[in-house]
Structure 1
Amino acid sequence: MEALFYVVPLLMIGAAVFTLTRVLGRAREVRGAWGSGLTAEARCLRTYTSTSGGGETTVSTTLHHVYEFTTRDGRSVRFEESNGPATVVEGDIVTVYYTPQRPERATAHAPARGKLAAESGCLLAFLGVFITGCVIFMVVVHLSFSAADAFFP
């Protein structure tokens, strides 16, 4: 029974760290694409939405775009990006930013370094507080079980 009070918070910490590394990794990719100086004209091939939640939770809708462009060396690249502008529809031409090493990690988001830093910083702060809360919970539980063992051997 005691293990449950350690395993569940550790799983939650693991999920938070995984989320943090994914989001910060994507932010680093986007920042690199903006800083590379390489751009191309891309065509929006498809737009679609995905939903999550429902029942007793709030429904969330995410807009996805599928783009295709040709790199400077003539390679055709197709990529998908979420949370793009709702004004871009199938057939539209947009400017994409990419790195020569990984053009499939391109972005059609216009450069906004301050916004990206603010989003990443807020997420980092939130998940840091969440992880700290999990660790404090585990310490308090450990101390509670230690004190109970001392009084009831």
Structure 2
Amino acid sequence: MEAFFYVVPSVMAAGLLFGMFRLLVRSRRIARAWNSGLTAEARCLRSYATASGGDTMISTTLHHVFEFTTRDGRVVRFEEADGPGTILEGDVVTVRYAADRPEEATAKAPARGRLLAESGCLLGFLGVALAFCVFFMVTAHWMFDEADNLMP
């Protein structure tokens, strides 16, 4: 029974750490594309939505597939989630990309403050959840130690 109070919070903590890592990778990728200064005109090849959720709540994510040509003549196709609903198939948009990683381009307009705020708030939320998991494990450990001391 004691193991339950350590295993479940540990698995949750691992998931939270992975989420924090993915969030930082995503933010770094977008910031790298914005900071590179390289832009290109890209055509939206496809636009589609995915739905996820359960019986009580459904979340819809809009995806776009873009294709552009880099300055060195390489044709790059990439997909981006959470794009604006105003971009339709066939539209031409400006994309930003890093020279060494054009497949990590973004069609999102630079908004460094918004990226920082979104990332910071999400990291804060995940950090509080992680701290709760650690607190729960420490408290459970303390409770089991106290219970063992009270037993004759």
TM more than 0.5 = yes
Secondary structure of the equivalent of 1:106? strand
CA deviations on 1:52-96 (whole Å, 9 max, x unpaired) are: 1121x3110000000000100111100000000000000000000
Q: Structure 2: where are the runs of 5+ without partners?
A: none
- TM-score w.r.t. structure 1 length? 0.97
Whole-angstrom distance in 2 between the partners of 1:8 and 1:67:
41
* In 1, Cα distance between equivalents of 2:30 and 2:112: 9
Q: 1:77-88 residue pairs with structure 2 within 5 A?
A: 77-88=76-87
Runs of 4+ residues over 2 Å off in structure 1: none
Q: Which has the larger displacement, 19-28 or 86-95? A: 19-28
Say what the alpha-carbon RMSD is for the aligned residues: 0.8
Question: How many Å separate the matches in 2 of 1:117 and 1:71?
Answer: 28
1:75 paired with 2:109, answer: no
Distance 2:3 2:99 in 1: 48
1:19-66, Cα deviation, whole Å (9 max, x unpaired): 1111111111111110100000000000111111121x3110000000
TM-score (norm: length of structure 2)? 0.98
The residue that corresponds to 2:26 in the other structure is 26
Distance 1:152 1:78 in 2: 66
Aligned sequence identity (%) = 62
Q: Residue 105 of structure 1: SS of its match in structure 2? A: strand
Number of aligned residues: 152
Provide, for residues 99-143 of structure 1, a one-character-per-residue CA deviation record: whole Å limited to 9, x for no partner.
011110000000000000000000111011000001111011101
